[in-house]
Copies of this chain bind each other. A is one copy, B any other.
Amino acid sequence: MRRVAVISYGMTKVDKHWNKSLRSLFGEAALNAINKVKNPKIDAIIVGNMCASDLSDQNNIGAIVADELGLTPITAYRVEAACGSGGAALLTGFSLVSSGVYDVVMVGGVEKLTDNIGKMISFSLGKAADAEYELFYGATFASLNALLMNRYMYVYKTPREAFADFAVLMHKNGAKNPYAQLPFEINREIALNSEYIADPIRLYDCAPIGDGAAVIILCSLEEASKYTDSFVEIIGISGASDTINIASRDDLLSLKATVTAANNAYKMAKVTPKDIDVAEIHDTFTITAAISLEDLGFCERGKFDKFLYEGAFEPGGIVAINPSGGLKSRGHPVGATGVYQAAEITMQLLGEAGKMQIPNAEIGLTHNMGGVGSSVYVSIMKRVK
């Protein structure tokens, strides 16, 4: 098992990119990454994407992006695990390099949602849930998460304001991120008075709809210094699944796949949650953030609000959460999100995060989720030099 390094990263701003196609978005992020390193001979591209078939009438995205970059005939294919597609692509790229099947692998994600009407986008995203037992009955992603949020507040007596205040923190972070879709600050009143999406979830509890592409380049740790002077190592990585429909679960207040993927990744990396300096977690909704912070071991069960108000999730606290602004403020280009997270953690560990920089970040974590926790991917990275 070869050790694997991340030698470069690139991304586009998350936005409504009405003037850029699926392939041109990917090309922009990829060239950004390629231009940071010396003559990388890329052997394969693994691309995370969820909605291109529905919203751009395009499958076979691997060939599309290899062609766009002039890199045919290299191996290129798509990986899909709903909103966790980027994380699954990262695991695939890791194993292709680790096994020695390929030496240099580009892992990317791309999503183009906004050329469509909202109803079509919502329907496409809903396909991450169970088509036969959830989607068919009219459940949307927001409504499924609303069930979790109601349950959380009922069981733990958590004040509604705490969720709004998490959104406020995310926007405070995202305001410093040049790639963020919503790079502005908000306050508690704005969040609490925003329109209902699915009671109790309001607009500012939700990640926005946006387009974007992100790319990282992997190679074996041994060869990394051929390409660049500064790189990070992937020291832990894992994926896990859960029942696709939430009605089949024993407990709505813990997402089993996050617990499993995180524990496997911690074990592989030989670290504990306390060792993580910075994390990009999958906060599709504020309730997803609360449960995920607990499942990842960053916070006691049911005490998300207490930890939040103690500053546990800010620099100098237990772990700096989502300096990018997270899905809430950076945005959530679905199949690309997991690769954005990996690019952002790489940027942090290399000390290249500008105004977002967490001082002395040495170990970082990404947490990427598809469905309501039915497909989860966790990676742990460490600064090498």
Contacts and interface: CB of A to CB of B under 8 A. Distances in A.
A127 B67 contact: no
Q: Chain A contact residues (Cβ within 8 angstroms of B): what range?
A: 35 or more
Contact of A101 (B71, B95, B371): B95
Contact of A80 (B78, B123, B130, B131): B78
Contacts of A98: 95, 99-101
A84 B375 CA distance: 23
Contacts of A104: none
A79 B76 contact: no
A168 B71 CA distance: 39
Contacts of A58: 127, 130-132
B73 A240 contact: yes
A186 to B, nearest CB: 31
A57 B82 CA distance: 12
Interface string A41-82: 000100000100110111111111011000111111111111
Contact of A54 (B54, B63, B64): B54
Given A73-B256, A96-B95, A79 B81 contact: no
Find the residue from A61, A75, A92, A132 having the highest chain B CB count within 10 A.
Answer: A75
A58 B135 CA distance: 9
Interface of A: 1-2, 21, 44, 50, 53-54, 56-64, 66-67, 71-82, 84-85, 88, 91-92, 94-96, 98-101, 123-124, 127-132, 135, 237-244, 248, 256-257, 260-261, 370-371, 374-375
